[in-house]
Amino acid sequence: MKEELAKEARFERLRLERTPTGDIVMPLKDEHITSDEPAHVICPVCKEDKRVSVMTEDEYWYRCPSCKYLAGKKKRPPSSRRGPMVV
């Protein structure tokens, strides 16, 4: 019971954010980012199951290691593999 409340409190510190690719992620609110708690993103799918799962991120993707939810972080640049044309 106490644990449930702690989890609810943790979710209240998150905000919903739509990424440029139209996917949903739940980053920590700016005012809660400290040196002890760096910015991170929580999986919105796991959140529905009341699980706190921190997503890993690289340049273009957020990935949930728990449920494999994948959210685009930003639009990919045009592929340069098609030919010699350089943008």
* 15 contacts 26 by C-beta, under 8 angstroms: yes
Q: In 1-87, where does DSSP find H-type helix?
A: 2-12, 44-48
28: contact with Zn ion by CB under 5 A: no
Interface segment toward Zn ion; rule CB under 5 A; list 6-14, 16-24, 63-71, 76-84: 63-71
62 sits near Zn ion (criterion: CB under 5 A): no
Q: Is 67 in the site for Zn ion (CB under 5 A)?
A: yes
Q: List the one residue from 46, 62, 71, 73 that touches Zn ion (CB under 5 A).
A: 46
What's the rounded Cα separation, in Å, for the pair 56 and 78? 24
Alpha-carbon distance 28 to 23, whole Å? 16
Site residues, Zn ion (CB under 5 A): 43, 45-46, 53, 64, 66-67, 69
